[in-house]
Amino acid sequence: MTPLGLADPEREARLLARIVETLSGRLDLEEILQGIAALITETTQTDVCFVYLLDEAGERLVLCGATPPFHRMAGQVELKMGEGVSGWVAAHGRPAVIVEDKLSDHRYKHIPELGREDLTSLASVPILSKPILSKPILSKPQRLVGVLNVHTRQRREFTDADVQLLGWMAGLMAGGIENARLHRMLARREEAMERFAERIVVAQETERRRLAGEIHDGISQRVVSLSFHLSAAADAVRTAPDVAAREIAEAQLLAEAALDETRFAIAGLHPPVLDDLGLAASLESLARSIRQLEVHAEARPCDLPPHVATSVYRIAQEALQNVVKHAGARTARLRLLTHGDTITLEVEDDGKGFGQARSHNQTGYGLPGMRERAELLGGTLEVKSCPGQGTLLRLRFPRTQSPRQSTFSLRVTQE
């Protein structure tokens, strides 16, 4: 067939107008990708188009858009970097073409979920964000957004002009994809803020009732008893020194007990160990405080704002409590690592784990609270588990929070 390059200015202008219309007419990412996939197959005269996007962690390609009927598989197909033709293109940052006999190509991998082997030829190009000029001469390197694939049932020798056209279209897609992702991210952040605000109000009222009960039933009763003992000591100090001494001793015990209860109540509101030791040492102290199992802690010091450190501490605390309550584990590992501007918290256990069926229930085990804290940190929360092989909870967040980086991803896998 005739190559579909960019030599015809009128064709290029019409195609550009249709791409811009598709990208600007909507903000929903799935609609954008499905519209683009249909436009690409029509323009390139191919049969099938797949659009893979790089996940937030930069580790996997996720099928996010395709021509029917494959669009129903969006979100259900994943490839590691370097896996399959798409993974190879993502890892190397350059196009790949297979004309025929794809099974003999070492890069090719059959994907059972897609269930099609009647596609003969394919062309795959990276979706790269355009460089942003920061100085007249220097520019930022292109950033991988995903991979665009087209397939044909009949044998097709994709030309350099075809590949150039696909690369040009992929470059135009990158901006629209990032805009849609930003819109989704901001919407999620707003929803997270609303949910968190609601939870704060409920938590405040619950905490007020708890503190009122503790003060009334514990601290205030001890203070009343303390007052009685001191009054008795004052009455007996001249006439019965021994009685006064006993009353003062009882008053001292009551004062110490009231002080302990006061400290316990304060610790429930804010872990004072954070102020005294910092986040890294506080996490190591938290690990030592778990008596029910052996917890190995590795935490690197990092300078974080107080509210961020508190959120990370609470996530670690909740995760370890989950291990104690539900995992049936013997040991656990707590790690706080820094890599450039990214900070990672990991809590891993050797417990019983859980399977895919339970992964759909994301309301238990304190996950909503941890999820909302992760969202407000601008980070991602990931849970990986497999029956009999334990569970790994991983929190990643930027050292400096910004709305652009606020994303959330929770994935439970069976590996």
Residue 300 within a domain: yes
Low-confidence ranges of the chain (pLDDT < 50): 1-7, 132-139, 357-363, 402-415
Is 1 within the bounds of a domain?
Answer: no
In a domain, 46, yes or no: yes
Residues 263 and 276 in one domain: no
- 52 & 73 share domain: yes
Domain identity same for 173 and 38: yes
CATH of the domain at 296: 3.30.565.10
Rounded Cα distance, 126 and 87, in Å: 10
* Whether residue 160 is found in the same domain as residue 199: no
Show which of 243, 269, 295 is a domain's final residue: 269
Last residue of some domain: 225, 250, 269?
Answer: 269
**Are residues 164 and 216 located together in one domain of the fold?**
no
The answer on 260 and 362 residing in a single domain is: no
Round to whole Å and give the CA distance between 211 and 166: 63
**Whether residue 292 sits in one domain with residue 222:** no
Q: What is the pLDDT of residues 156-208, one digit of tens each?
A: 999 888 888 888 888 877 777 777 677 667 777 777 777 767 766 666 666 67
Q: Are residues 246 and 282 both part of a single domain?
A: no
Do 225 and 329 reside in the same domain of the chain?
no
Q: How far apart are CA 102 and CA 217, in angstroms?
A: 75
Distance between CA atoms of 100 and 114, rounded to whole angstroms? Answer: 19
Judge whether 410 lies within some domain. no
Mean per-residue pLDDT of the chain:
78
Domain assignment present for 3:
no
Determine the structural domain holding residue 301 and report its residue range. 272-405
Domains: count for the chain: 3
Location of structure tokens 């020194």: 241
One domain, residues 226 and 280: no
Proportion of the chain in helix, strand, coil states, percent, rounded to 5: 50, 20, 30
**Residue ranges of the alpha helices (H) in 215-271?**
220-236, 241-269
CB atoms within 10 A of CB 312: 25
Point out the domain boundary residue: 135, 168, 189.
189
CA separation (Å) from 376 to 194, 204, 302, 398, 403?
11, 18, 19, 11, 9
How far lies 159's CA from each of 11, 34, 99, 119, in Å? 18, 25, 10, 18
Q: Does residue 37 fall inside a structural domain? A: yes
* Domain CATH code at residue 77: 3.30.450.40
If 0-12 CB within 10 Å is exposed, 13-18 middle and 19+ buried, where does residue 44 land? buried
| 169 located within any domain | yes
Reported as a single tens digit per residue, the pLDDT across 8-37 is 556 666 666 777 666 665 556 777 788 888
381 and 322, same structural domain? yes
* CA atoms within 13 Å, Cβ hemisphere of 86: 26
- Are 140 and 225 in the same domain? no
